Chain A
Amino acid sequence: MSSRDESKYLLPQNPRYQAAVSSLIVSAVFWAVVGLLLAVQFYHLKVTDERRSRKLEALRHVYQTSGADESLAEEIRQLDVHYRRDHLARLQFLYRGSGLFVLFGAVFVGTILWVRSFHQKPPHPEPLEDRTTAQIQAARRTRWAVSAGTAVLASAVLFWSFQGSQTPQESAGAEDSSESRPAFASWEQMNQNWPVFRGPQGAGICPFDNIPTEWDGASGKNIRWKVPVELPGHNSPVVWENRIFLTGADAKRQEVYCFNAEDGTLLWTGQVPLAPAAQREEMTIMEDTGYAASTAAVNGVFVAAIFADGQVGCFDFDGRRQWVRSLGVPASAYGYASSLTVYENRLIIQFDQDYEPGRSKLIALDITTGQTLWERERPVPNSWTSPTVVEWGGQMQILTSGSPWLIAYDATDGRELWRLDCLGGDVAPTQIAAAGRIFAVHPYTHLAAVRPPQAPAEQMQAELLWKAEGSIPDICSPVSDGRLVWTVDSEGVLECFDVQDGSRLYSQDLQAVFQASPVLVGDILYLLSTKGRMILVKAARTFEQIGQNELPESFTASPAFAPGRIYLRGSRHLYCIENRR
């Protein structure tokens, strides 16, 4: 023992020790190299060979479907042999290599043991402490630890039992499902759903019946279900038949959620990757906009979403991601907030930016592929309004608000149809179309009624009919039933104007703060305050409040509707409200 102890001081000179250490290093290097080679070959097996077989498959398909081409056939044959040889060689390598890996691992372990045999330390018990106290303490500590462990385990299990039913839907099956189906639903179907921000044509008019007028968050009355939404976002739900879509994001993740409308289960979560970190540093994120202010759009087959960093992602209804586009982080003073809209297979993005002229654009992407179909430069600075697609005299038009222009584009090819100088400031409320007019908002200043050119034959000149002043909103969009038009500003002042001449019929302080835009259901206005109070006002020339309902959460997203149901996205939950029979 003692001689070994002394020899420890001479270890570096001991040739046996040196031999042990060098074999340790050599075996470690060998081991690592084999491991690395295995990993590389494994990668090739999984990625390269997979890609190659897909390529070969594609070539075979081309050969079978196009005119006969002997050179292509020859190429296929050669590639086939080449790829197959590589693949088999890789399999062999992996099999033998993993044997080598284990073998070198064993050698490595052996050399460690060898080296270690030079570093022995005789046992050296420390002074004996008070055993009685130590053992009593140890027993007590174990009791507490086991209790704590049991408690942690039990609460984890309990927590899971609440989560258990919400398993995300797997997206198995063939990868290509979109090709044989049409890429969009019809205009009629779009109007039978709630496909974009503020519903069909972005008008904020609910076409459905049996919408509840009474509910209560505290007692759960008429709350069909309530489910948590993982990541925050100011965007509103969009609805297609029995699916509800919304998005959420924080500094690390950007996600699209699809919920089952029947019971609120999360069907899938789609991920949209972040823009490069360097770009994201330039983002403006304010509390009022956040990372996910833009409402998603759905066209009956796909759902697309855009986030504050200019990343656009598209998914099919089973949650398979179709494509992702990076438009670049938009330069927006308060953060990007325009919602998407969609016309047939065209995904319309109002991408207004500040600082340099020529940066603001209206972009149409092919929703099936993510390719740009067309792009129009816009002579406006950053805005926070959303484009809307409306039908006007048989023509589909995209309406946009910016400062100072209200511009209409042809929804098919993006041709500019007309423009009118009637706006200004930091425009956020979205224009609406009603009674053959367009109502657009110059925040804090005026509500403008515009008569668009009636037919393409006309001189394509829009006409400003009137401007009405009052408590003009800065965030919430107007709503109209064709006879009257209402606005509500953030401070809670509800204004009612006559569509004909813009005369103000009433102005009523609702004593609440609003960020969500109002929706007209039949002859009732639904106004959702940030505190979760939904105020119901009769759509009439005089003010008459006919009810109010409370939910215990804050709300900034505009409500979405489906037959018999309201979907409300709060700061933490998604609610479904339905009359209980």
Chain B
Amino acid sequence: MSRHLPKQTAKADGGLVAVFLAVTAFGAGFLAYWFVDRRFVRQNVPRAYRYSIEELTTIEPSLLIYRQSRPPIETGLLEAVALDVDSDGAVWAAGDRKILRFASDGRKDTEISLPSKPTAVKAADGVLYVAMTDQIETYSPAGERLSAWAPVQTALFTSIAVGPEDVFAADAVGKVIHRFDKQGNALGRLGQKNPSRGIEGFVIPSPYFDVLIAHDGLLRVNNPGRQRIEAYTFDGHLEWHWGIPSVKLEGFSGCCNPIALAQLPDGTFVTGEKGLVRVKVYDDHGRLLGVVAGPQQLGWKGPVRVCETPEECGSRGLDVAADGQGRIYVLEQVRNTILIFEKNG
């Protein structure tokens, strides 16, 4: 058997080896630091891999026809969901198993405890209508429970509108508007898909479904999945609709907007959008009249939120309301504050 001797170590000049080693050590250090640690690691991400909607967040200042007229109201709620302004100009905010009332100067003067989490609130004719998921209850302004209506199976009421004799509630899960009388008896549903009546149906991908009774006596309902506002009679006839999908200012951005709706005393409508958060004013045929607040005014920081817990990331939309003086109230659900806007000039 032949034996292979491994290579013997060759004698070398120590100094030369030292230089050799030092140079390679330096090279290795340089490679490690520069290529592994700095250049390679901190390089920019290819543009094709990034989705940037930042450029859409600036709004031409001349279009901003509203400004914040008062300091915002910090609701102190952990999860504010809805607001309404009553005829006295007091602000009602719902969230966290509570209803809070803020006087017109922004001070909290009433706190009503609820048996479960509220999903909508409406103050009308001295009565507080509060929706809690599938059930509506009424309260006196002092916080006394007046009635509890029969729950509606699987419903999620996200908005209530109160007329002289009727109460309408928007059900985001059932994707219909329920009509009740003032005692809570169900009178019917409207807005179901019905091709023969020209109704395509509501598309509600997230729990933002708003209904109101406009000054003209018709209902206005947002249809976020179709990016439009629809006008219905109390009997459920679709009269007309307006709104176009677009990230441009005149349209409703993204997959499912607008998410909130209110009417101003002059008959125009305030819409709220999530995502690219915007509050805008339209006339009754969808002509953009101006912008109340854009992402920068509403504290938009980026398209994606970063949260410690999933709950924090849960709600992130907004709700809008208007008072008799034409002021616009925006409940901003990220920071749970109410911003108050007034028309310039």
Contact = CB atoms under 8 A, between A and B. Distances in A.
Contacts of B58: 180
A120 interface: yes
A-side binding surface: helix, strand, loop or mixed? loop
A498 B55 CA distance: 56
A56 B48 contact: yes
Nearest to A56: B48
Contacts, number: 33
A120 B5 contact: yes
Given A122-B5, A123-B8, A180-B58, A53 B42 contact: no
A53 B44 contact: no
Contacts of A172: 42, 44
A522 to B, nearest CB: 39
A120 B4 contact: yes
Contact of B48 (A53, A117, A123, A173): A53
A377 interface: no
A413 interface: no
B4 A117 contact: yes
Interface string B1-18: 010110110000000000
A54 B7 CA distance: 54
A173 B44 contact: yes
Interface in B158-189: none
B5 A57 contact: no
B301 interface: no
Interface string A171-184: 01111000110000
Contacts of A116: 7
Contacts of A170: 42
Contact of A54 (B2, B44, B47, B55): B47
Contacts of A53: 46, 48-49
Interface string B46-77: 11111010010010000000000000000000
Nearest to B38: A170
Interface in A93-149: 116-117, 120-123
A57 B8 contact: no
A439 to B, nearest CB: 44
Interface in B218-266: none
A174 B2 CA distance: 65
Given A180-B55, A180-B58, A175 B7 contact: no
Interface in A67-106: none
B50 A174 contact: yes
B8 A54 contact: no
A482 B7 CA distance: 87
A180 B50 CA distance: 18
A50 interface: yes
Nearest to A119: B7
Contact of A175 (B2, B5, B47): B47
Given A121-B8, A170-B42, A57 B55 contact: no
A174 B46 contact: no
A558 B81 CA distance: 62
A346 B8 CA distance: 70
A174 B4 contact: no
Contacts of A180: 55, 58
B42 A50 contact: no
Interface SS majority for chain B: loop
A306 to B, nearest CB: 28
A210 B47 CA distance: 47
B48 A57 contact: yes
Given A120-B4, A123-B8, A180-B55, A54 B42 contact: no
A174 B7 contact: no
B48 A54 contact: yes
B256 to A, nearest CB: 20
Nearest to B55: A180
Interface string B25-49: 0000000000000000010101111
A179 B49 CA distance: 20
A135 to B, nearest CB: 16
Interface string A41-67: 000000000100110110000000000
Interface in A353-394: none
Contacts of B52: 174
A50 B52 CA distance: 18
B201 to A, nearest CB: 29
Contacts of A179: 55
Contacts of B50: 174
A54 B46 contact: yes
A57 B48 CA distance: 6
Interface in A142-196: 170, 172-175, 179-180
B304 to A, nearest CB: 15
A75 B5 CA distance: 66
Nearest to A117: B4
B19 to A, nearest CB: 14
Nearest to B52: A174
A8 to B, nearest CB: 14
Contacts of A117: 4
Interface in B78-100: none
Nearest to A177: B54
A321 to B, nearest CB: 13
Interface in A198-231: none
A170 B42 CA distance: 8
A175 B44 contact: yes
Contacts of A57: 47-48
A50 B55 CA distance: 23
Nearest to B4: A117
Nearest to B50: A174
A574 B228 CA distance: 62
Nearest to B2: A4
Contacts of A121: 8
Nearest to A49: B46
A174 B58 CA distance: 17
A554 B268 CA distance: 72
Nearest to A121: B8
A180 B54 CA distance: 10
A149 to B, nearest CB: 10
Which residue, B4, B5, B52, has most C-beta atoms of chain A within 10 A?
Answer: B5
A122 B5 CA distance: 8
Contacts of B47: 54, 57, 174-175
Interface string A217-255: 000000000000000000000000000000000000000
B43 to A, nearest CB: 8
B95 to A, nearest CB: 36
A122 B7 CA distance: 10
A45 to B, nearest CB: 11
Contacts of A173: 44
B40 to A, nearest CB: 11
Contacts of B48: 50, 53-54, 56-57
A117 B4 CA distance: 6
A68 B42 CA distance: 39
A178 to B, nearest CB: 12
A554 to B, nearest CB: 34
Contacts of A54: 46-48
A22 B27 CA distance: 33
Nearest to A4: B2
Contacts of A56: 48
A180 B48 CA distance: 19
A526 to B, nearest CB: 42
28 contacts: A4-B2, A50-B46, A50-B48, A53-B48, A53-B49, A54-B46, A54-B47, A54-B48, A56-B48, A57-B47, A116-B7, A117-B4, A120-B4, A120-B5, A121-B8, A122-B5, A123-B5, A123-B8, A170-B42, A172-B44, A174-B44, A174-B47, A174-B50, A174-B52, A175-B44, A179-B55, A180-B55, A180-B58
Given A4-B2, A122-B5, A173-B44, 18 more contacts: A50-B46, A50-B48, A53-B46, A53-B48, A53-B49, A54-B46, A56-B48, A57-B47, A57-B48, A120-B4, A123-B5, A123-B8, A170-B42, A174-B50, A174-B52, A175-B44, A175-B47, A180-B55
Please give me the 4 A-B residue pairs with the lowest Cβ-Cβ distance, nearest first.
A53-B48, A57-B48, A117-B4, A170-B42
